[in-house]
Chain A
């Protein structure tokens, strides 16, 4: 049956359903319960990253010949995983999935040599930090107009100069996918090992995502061999879309956590002699959270399913990302509002989700679906 005869379907595959059960339990038992302490400590819980290896996520897209499962690239499976992990905690979800995004990008656009390097380094029994380095410091980031430059040298190597921001793991990252302008507005990616000369990191400090180690990265006359460059098949437009889809999936998971938390709260909180949920002003806020969350989730699934089928997902990914920023933050702020003054304190997680959800507007290319 040709792909055009596919039916509209919202049922995950059996493999996806089984995987979701495992991931959701992990998000509940290992992430949600540890989120507050991690936020206060500004550090991931001890041993957390090691535990994520047992989920086996990094092995899925890696071919069997390279030691993986060979399940192929599945943006749909990825968004389900991102959503479920983010429901536990957004910072931990990003940390856990950053290496997978490097794997995904290299499986999509890497050379055979890069695929081997990435598989050997990241699809292992130990968690190996790795991250994408697309975002740049400042206001008005645009992946199509990067300030980091990669100049082709006469001997075929590249000379990179510039600054990156929000690079997960920073100096701890074994591998980094650094994106730079190779001239005339053409963006290209380079697989960089952390011990390359000319790279320096400085830890950054943000409103939220506090357990996630984020770094500013400077590249000063970094020389890379031609073999570090992704192939000519590199498709910035598609990669940016996959990034937008992943960011929107983070919003879905985090907003689900908000909804799951406010429902029992407004049902139990008594004011004027009855639960505040009995008031339409409160109940309708909850109804709108549920409605917009459901709509956002469907947008994310649609874009991911388009990407998986090889359809052009640019438009829906762009729109899903816009709505993730808009409604993700609205749900974040309504979550605090519904708890009133209590929501403003650190006794409840809604203020944490509020801070994390504001990051959605600045997470370009951190994760890929």
Chain B
């Protein structure tokens, strides 16, 4: 039965997380935006304990055994949005939820997990010469005895400085293209892996973004995550990399959810700042009754709600094991551009006050930009959607 409201369990969690965001994150939001620290903000160690298991509980199955599920994907997008309502930079800086954790958890044995200890794994994919075209990475891993020897340079590694481990993408054989790309877990302190730089950024400054150089960095053979074989046929190779890229079908709605949080935060703060300006959205006004500012705000609300539903749909499909590649990209494309558009417009509407560092609106506008870039830029999402809708291969529609 068609229903697009959240179930009570998820709605309750969301309400709790709103308290966490407003009481825990907002008070330190500006502080870490100004500091742009390399290390994890101290307060986050205590705060992240509050999150506990609340962010990742089990599925809720449909009534009457209908099989419909509102599971982890749905919970995660709602939770992520709510924490990002507090601060998207601090959300990214939460220790213990590194982007690489999922990749490790998916394939690591219990013995490996025990050996590697508490997981806080960064994901190192992008290189100076390979961004959106992740198949073009040049970092290599060569087997030498019982160890992989990794060489190369990675940039834009979120939490690369603070994390306890790094999941790095490297090629086993550059001549075999993307099928030869595998991921490896490298614990911090491994000789040959050096954080060489931490970026200074437009936004999400509470989160560190690192450059990492691998210079004959050796890890045990078992640290290759997943299957070490390189597919033999061209077809199988395509499939193998497709499997790697499929992990993004689950992560894109999560990142899209960040834009929902920032946009909602910007709108809510805008209404606060406009409190004495006689702006009233009653959702009944005719076009001829509304002021220009109200007209803009209705527009932003419409964009926000649309993006939110696209994110929820993509997550719902993932929960229900439906192929969601194009929906995941739609959610990221729409939410990415929406979040940026909304936050920037809110600054414009609030004029001097919006632009001032006296409030967080200008910060939301800076933070919002990256969400339309990382985890696949706006244009990459459009490309993925277009290929699916038009039935084009990547060689036809480049």
**Chain A positions near chain B (C-beta within 8 angstroms):** 1, 4-13, 16, 76, 139-142, 144, 237, 240, 259, 263, 266-267, 275, 277-278, 280, 283-284, 286-288, 290-292, 294-296, 298-299, 301-302, 304-306, 309, 311, 314-316, 318-320, 322-323, 326
Contact = CB atoms under 8 A, between A and B. Distances in A.
Given A11-B1, A144-B284, A301-B4, A263 B309 contact: no
A12 to B, nearest CB: 6
A6 B7 contact: yes
A11 B317 CA distance: 11
Interface in B145-194: none
A284 B386 contact: yes
A356 to B, nearest CB: 20
B385 A280 contact: no
Contacts of A140: 286-288
Contacts of A301: 2, 4
Interface residues of B, number: 54
B42 interface: no
A185 B146 CA distance: 84
Nearest to A318: B283
A13 B286 contact: no
Interface in B25-77: 60, 62-63, 66, 68-70, 74
A2 to B, nearest CB: 8
Interface stretch (B14-22, B119-127, B262-270, B295-303): B295-303
Nearest to A285: B386
Contacts of B284: 144, 237, 240, 314, 318
21 contacts: A5-B8, A5-B63, A6-B63, A8-B70, A10-B2, A11-B2, A266-B390, A275-B396, A280-B383, A283-B382, A287-B382, A287-B385, A290-B326, A290-B385, A295-B307, A305-B3, A305-B5, A314-B283, A318-B284, A320-B302, A322-B302
B330 A8 contact: no
Contacts of B313: 10, 294, 298
A13 B1 contact: yes
Contacts of B5: 6, 8, 302, 305-306, 309, 311
Interface in B229-267: none
A16, A139, A316 — most chain B CB neighbours (10 Å): A316
Contact of B306 (A10, A240, A298, A309): A298
B392 A9 contact: no
A165 B34 CA distance: 59
A239 to B, nearest CB: 12
Contacts of B310: 291, 294-295, 298
B286 A141 contact: yes
Contacts of A304: 2
B389 A7 contact: no
A286 B305 contact: no
A8, A315, A320 — most chain B CB neighbours (10 Å): A8
Contacts of A13: 1-2
A64 to B, nearest CB: 22
A22 B135 CA distance: 46
A284 B310 CA distance: 18
Contact of B390 (A267, A299, A305): A267
Contacts of A288: 382
Given A291-B385, A319-B283, 17 more contacts: A9-B1, A9-B68, A10-B316, A277-B397, A278-B392, A280-B379, A283-B397, A287-B381, A287-B385, A290-B389, A291-B310, A298-B310, A298-B313, A314-B284, A319-B302, A322-B298, A323-B303
B301 to A, nearest CB: 6
Given A314-B284, A322-B299, A267 B391 contact: yes
A263 B386 CA distance: 10
A313 B336 CA distance: 26
B6 interface: yes
Given A266-B390, A291-B333, A318-B298, A302 B4 contact: yes
B210 interface: no
B209 interface: no
Interface in B366-398: 379, 381-383, 385-387, 389-392, 396-398
A9 B385 contact: no
B218 interface: no
B169 to A, nearest CB: 26
A168 B257 CA distance: 44
A339 B307 CA distance: 28
B394 to A, nearest CB: 11
A319 B7 contact: no
A11 B69 CA distance: 11
